[in-house]
Amino acid sequence: MNAQVHTSNVVTDPYGVCTHERTRIEFMPPGQTHYARRVCCDCKRQLCWITNPANTERRRNNAANLKRLLAEAPLNNYERDFCQNIVNKHSLSPKQQGLLNALSEKYLTQKGYSDIEHPEKGNGPERELRAA
């Protein structure tokens, strides 16, 4: 057997994954597809891509809007089917995102729906019940 061993083979597990503990985040230049990546400080291997915070926030808002639309809004059959079909999608096409934004604007910003989770503002259906 050859006694020479490559250094990268010594510090990795049998599957080629880095086993070092020290990592750093490298941000990509503007215009790149990816936002940032996690890199090992010792062997310089790329460990994973870091999600753009704006994408994470958009996905969180989409999930909340879909939940509210399906639970509270008076959707027609097409709109309900659309919402049910995209509820488990990780990312939406620009056309799907536009339609979801339009539905959210149409139903969730109307009087009675925009503040349904914040009745303390006094705009939700609870206000009408108190006035009666």
Model pLDDT for residues 46-87, shown as the tens digit of each residue: 888 998 888 889 999 999 999 999 988 898 899 999 999 898
Rounded to whole angstroms, the Cα distance separating 38 from 12 reads 17
Burial 80-103 (b: 16+ CB within 10 A, else e): eebbeebeeeeebeeeeeebbeeb
Model pLDDT for residues 72-129, shown as the tens digit of each residue: 889 889 999 999 989 888 889 999 999 999 999 988 887 555 444 443 444 444 333 3
pTM tops 0.75, yes or no: no
Rounded to whole angstroms, the Cα distance separating 71 from 52 reads 29
Cβ burial of 26 (10 Å; 0-12, 13-18, 19+) is exposed
